[in-house]
């Protein structure tokens, strides 16, 4: 804003030598004010003006005798006034006062030209993001509009061009602190109603693709396909966003996705609780669990390998309703394709703790009773034990979940053992 070297050269060229008498100037203090009731420059602009004058004063005055400066005071003041009059676009320098001393003060009195900025409007271009995401970004930016107002309101309109650099610095400081994943481009249209147009551009790595999967232990995965489609549609809004931005707002996005899924008719019908887990990256992964404490429904297909029977494929539907917090009444339906036959098994199960389940079921049409024990060992491992009291038979199975749709179970009885592949439908 101020050509310091030009002013310094002019002052250094002024005639007069150092005097041995009087105090030596050690510090410079500068203040900028207005006269005739004019509105003072915005604080940040006044501070920048004062800093420029201080820098010049330190180069010119420090180390000189106060008496030397006092002897040529009128000339120094006139030169400073003439130089700043030419440089401070939008202002006239009405008066300059130098008070020489060990701490020399310089007072600059200004009068603005013509009309001043009365209002500042910040127009932000958030790009192609949704209105909801724009609101999130606006919240991150905080009081940026107020702070830009503090820089520009009260400035002469003619001074807005060079003051725009200060506005840009203010905006960049705010973004670096509160919205570091975006950089800004902006343009200023000066007037009594000054418009600052700001556009935000992502920086760093951005999300190229989003992969969504829903899993459940309490309803069949095939029932979740419709919800997964809706979930994936909502997740597309993450495409193009900076990875770091999504990482910083991981909890916010998880909550919003959960809210979208909870409005699906399947969520309402079964009382599902949706828990999304977001792993941001250029290929972002969202894994959501959908569980209910009202029902326990699953559908599985079995393929037995190494078992000496003809019926080595079957399918089972388990439909259970929780009665209280720990008891479940259920019906299991088995279909055996080889013989095109059906088995039905009504039953009851009780939960001990979070991982142990015991129960009984009655097989129709064979009229067999089976005692059951299921023990979850970890997220992917579980143990199953079944006993037929009438026949004195036992069956044990150790299951490992390979992924959402496939498990493997090693089964053994008193007579044989085999491997079963289980499809979670």
Residues 301 and 401 occupy one common structural domain: yes
pLDDT, average across residues 18-32: 73
- What pLDDT does 7 receive? 46
d(CA 304, CA 325) in angstroms, rounded, equals: 34
Q: Residue 328 maps to which CATH number?
A: 2.40.128
Q: What is the mean pLDDT of the chain?
A: 86
Residues 125 and 81 occupy one common structural domain: no
Chain center to CA of 231: 19
Residues 172 and 143 occupy one common structural domain: yes
Say which residue, 57 or 350, is predicted with more confidence. Answer: 350
How many other C-beta atoms can be found within 10 angstroms of the C-beta atom of residue 259? 11
pLDDT for residue 257 is more than 50: yes
Q: Residue 166 maps to which CATH number?
A: 3.10.20
Closest Cα to residue 219, out of 270, 274, 287?
Answer: 270
Residues 53 and 69 occupy one common structural domain: yes
- What pLDDT does 171 receive? 80
- Looking at 280-367, which runs of residues are DSSP E strands? 283-291, 295-305, 313-323, 327-336, 341-352, 356-363
- What pLDDT does 1 receive? 45
Closest Cα to residue 179, out of 127, 121, 255, 257?
Answer: 127
Domain end (from 112, 141, 159): 112
- Give helix 43-61 / helix 144-152 axis angle, nearest 10°: 50
d(CA 122, CA 197) in angstroms, rounded, equals: 6
Residues 299 and 411 occupy one common structural domain: yes
Residues 56 and 131 occupy one common structural domain: no
Closest Cα to residue 298, out of 223, 228, 363, 226?
Answer: 223
CA distances to 1, 225, 373 from 406, in Å: 70, 16, 22
pLDDT, average across residues 48-70: 82
What total number of domains does the chain contain? 4
Domain end (from 67, 90, 112): 112
Residues 309 and 403 occupy one common structural domain: yes
**Which stretch of 38-42, 227-231, 298-302 has the lowest confidence by average pLDDT?**
38-42
107 is in which domain, residue-wise? 4-112
Domain end (from 291, 306, 338): 291
Chain center to CA of 371: 51
For strands 283-291 and 209-215, give the pairing: parallel
Would you list the DSSP string of 247-260? HHTHHHHHHHHHHH
d(CA 193, CA 157) in angstroms, rounded, equals: 9
How many other C-beta atoms can be found within 10 angstroms of the C-beta atom of residue 44? 17
Residues 168 and 221 occupy one common structural domain: no
pLDDT, average across residues 298-327: 91
Q: 347 - beta bridge partners?
A: 330, 361
* pLDDT tens, position by position, 232-245: 888 888 999 999 99
Mean pLDDT highest for which of 48-52, 300-304, 364-368?
300-304
Say which residue, 11 or 290, is predicted with more confidence. Answer: 290
Share of the chain above pLDDT 90, in %: 36
Residues 300 and 407 occupy one common structural domain: yes
Could you give the 3-state DSSP secondary structure of residue 329? strand
Q: How confident is the model at residue 20 (pLDDT cuts 50, 70, 90)?
A: very low
* pLDDT tens, position by position, 167-185: 778 788 888 888 999 988 8
Would you list the DSSP string of 98-149? EE-SSEEEEEEEEEE-S-B--EEEEEEE-TT--HHHHHHHHHHHTTHHHHHH
Residues 6+ apart with CB under 8 A from 47: none
pLDDT for residue 265 is more than 60: yes
pLDDT for residue 4 is more than 80: no
- What pLDDT does 301 receive? 95
Would you list the DSSP string of 17-46? ---SSSPBP-EEEEEEEE-TTPPPPPHHHH
pLDDT for residue 14 is more than 90: no
Residues 263 and 300 occupy one common structural domain: no
* pLDDT tens, position by position, 183-195: 888 888 888 898 9
Chain center to CA of 201: 15
Residues 274 and 156 occupy one common structural domain: no
CA distances to 50, 117, 173 from 164, in Å: 18, 13, 14
- What pLDDT does 22 receive? 63
Residues 416 and 300 occupy one common structural domain: yes
How many other C-beta atoms can be found within 10 angstroms of the C-beta atom of residue 293? 12
Could you give the 3-state DSSP secondary structure of residue 308? coil
* pLDDT tens, position by position, 73-90: 888 888 878 877 777 777
- What pLDDT does 295 receive? 92
pLDDT for residue 218 is more than 80: yes
Residues 6+ apart with CB under 8 A from 65: 18, 19, 20, 21, 22, 23, 24, 25
What are the percentages of helix, strand and coil residues in the chain, rounded to 5? 30, 40, 25
Residue for token pair 């001074």: 159
- What pLDDT does 352 receive? 92
* pLDDT tens, position by position, 357-405: 999 999 998 889 999 999 999 989 999 999 999 889 999 999 999 987 8
pLDDT for residue 5 is more than 70: no
Share of the chain above pLDDT 70, in %: 95
């Amino acid at each position: 804003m101020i050509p310091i070297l030009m002013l310094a050269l002019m002052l250094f060229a002024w005639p007069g030598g150092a005097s041995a008498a009087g105090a030596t100037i050690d510090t410079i203090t500068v203040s900028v004010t207005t006269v005739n009731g004019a509105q003072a420059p915005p604080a940040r602009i006044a501070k920048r003006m004062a800093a420029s004058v201080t820098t010049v004063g330190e180069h010119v005055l420090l180390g000189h005798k106060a008496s030397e400066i006092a002897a040529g005071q009128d000339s120094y003041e006139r030169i400073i006034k003439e130089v700043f009059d030419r440089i401070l676009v939008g202002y006239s320098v009405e008066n300059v006062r130098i008070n020489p001393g060990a701490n020399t003060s310089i007072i600059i009195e200004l009068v603005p030209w013509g009309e001043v900025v009365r209002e500042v409007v910040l127009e932000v271009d958030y790009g192609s993001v949704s209105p909801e995401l724009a609101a999130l970004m606006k919240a991150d930016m905080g009081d940026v509009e107020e702070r830009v107002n503090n820089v520009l309101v009260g400035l002469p309109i003619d001074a807005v061009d060079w003051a725009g650099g200060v506005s840009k610095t203010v905006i960049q400081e705010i973004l670096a602190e509160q919205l570091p994943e975006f950089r800004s481009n902006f343009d200023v249209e000066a007037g009594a109603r000054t418009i600052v147009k700001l556009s935000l551009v992502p920086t760093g790595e951005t999300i190229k693709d989003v992969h969504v999967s829903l899993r459940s232990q309490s309803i069949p995965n095939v029932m979740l396909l419709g919800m997964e489609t809706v979930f994936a549609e909502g997740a597309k809004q993450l495409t193009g966003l900076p990875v770091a931005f999504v990482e910083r707002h991981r909890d916010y996005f998880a909550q919003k996705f959960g809210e979208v899924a909870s409005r699906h008719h399947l969520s309402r019908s079964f009382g599902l609780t949706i828990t999304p887990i977001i792993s941001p990256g250029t290929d972002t992964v969202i894994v959501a669990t959908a569980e209910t404490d009202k029902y326990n429904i699953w559908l599985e297909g079995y393929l037995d390998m190494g078992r000496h029977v003809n019926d080595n494929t079957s399918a089972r539907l388990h439909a259970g309703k929780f009665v209280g917090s720990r008891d479940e009444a259920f019906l299991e339906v088995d279909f055996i394709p080889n013989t095109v036959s059906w088995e039905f098994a009504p039953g009851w199960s009780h939960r001990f703790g979070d991982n142990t389940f015991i129960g009984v079921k009655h097989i129709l049409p064979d009229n067999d009773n089976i005692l059951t024990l299921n023990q979850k060992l970890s997220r992917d491992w579980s143990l199953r034990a079944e006993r037929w009291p009438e026949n004195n038979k036992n069956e044990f199975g150790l299951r490992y979940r390979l992924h959402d749709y496939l498990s493997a179970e090693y089964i053994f009885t008193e007579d044989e053992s085999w491997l079963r592949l289980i499809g979670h439908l």
